[in-house]
Amino acid sequence: DTGVSQDPRHKITKRGQNVTFRCDPISEHNRLYWYRQTLGQGPEFLTYFQNEAQLEKSRLLSDRFSAERPKGSFSTLEIQRTEQGDSAMYLCASSGDSGADTQYFGPGTRLTVL
Amino acid sequence: AQTVTQSQPEMSVQEAETVTLSCTYDTSESDYYLFWYKQPPSRQMILVIRQEAYKQQNATENRFSVNFQKAAKSFSLKISDSQLGDAAMYFCAYQGGSEKLVFGKGTKLTVNP
C-alpha cells in the first residue's frame, strides 16, 4: 500500500481550457474526498464519494466542476472552462467506511491558470 | 455551520523546547472528532493526532499531545522537544455528523536551531 496518489502533481493551463485530475485512494478505502486549498488558507471541502456514489457536494463546486468515481476505485475531477480563480492546490483524501475513520491525504495537484 | 479558528498565523520555537498551538471551534453537535494535520513545505498533509469528543482523556502521540477542553471548545496542540523536522504548517480540523473536514487557516511553525 503506497497511500493516496494524485496525478498530475502540477498542471499549468490557459484560461478557458479544460483540465482533469486523477486520484487513486488507499486500496481498501471506500470513501474518497476532494478538497481545494488556496494560498494561505486551509483546505475547503468540495465533494465526497462512498464507493461510486457521490454523496455530498459543496456550493464551491460550480457547474464547471464535475467529479466521478467509476467502479468505486479511482476518481477524476474535471474543471471546464478554467478561470484564474481556479488556481489552487486540489487535494484528494480517502478513508474507511466509518465516519470515525481518519482521512489520509494525497500529495495534491497544483493548478495554475494563466 | 461549524467553524475552526487558529488565532496564531505564525509561531516559532527553539529546537528542543516546547510550543503550544491554539485552536478553537464552534459547533452545536455533541459528537465529533478533532484533528491536527501537519503540512511540510511542498509535501503532503499528514495526520499528527486525533481526539474523539466523547473521550475525556487527552490524546497523545509521542512528543505530541493535545489539551481538549470541550466546554470551552478549545483544542490546542503541544509539541515537546521540538525538532527541525517539525517545521511546517499545522492545521486544526473538525469532523462532525457530516463526513467532511472543516479546517482552520493554519499556523506556520518555525523551529530555530
Q: What is the 3-state secondary structure (H, E, C) of A54-114?
A: EEEECCCCCCCEEEECHHHCCEEEEECCCCHHHCEEEEEEEECCCCCCCCEECCCEEEEEC
CA distances from B74 to A109, B50, B65 (A): 32, 14, 14
Q: What is the pLDDT of residues B40-74, one digit of tens each?
A: 987 889 999 999 999 989 999 999 999 999 999 99
Q: What is the pLDDT of residues A69-90, one digit of tens each?
A: 998 899 999 999 999 999 999 9
User: In this prediction, what percent of chain B has a pLDDT beyond 70?
Assistant: 100
CA proximity to B88, closest of B8, B5, B7, B11:
B11
- Contact call for A100 and B33, based on CB within 8 A: yes
β-pair type (B107-112, B10-14): parallel
- The verdict on A99 touching B (C-beta cutoff 8 Å) is yes
The residue to which cell 459543496 is assigned: A58
- The verdict on B36 touching A (C-beta cutoff 8 Å) is no
Q: Is the pLDDT of residue A11 over 70?
A: yes
Contacts of B44 in chain A (CB under 8 A): 105-108
Q: What is the pLDDT of residues A26-54, one digit of tens each?
A: 998 999 999 999 988 999 999 999 999 99
Contacts of A31 in chain B (CB under 8 A): 99
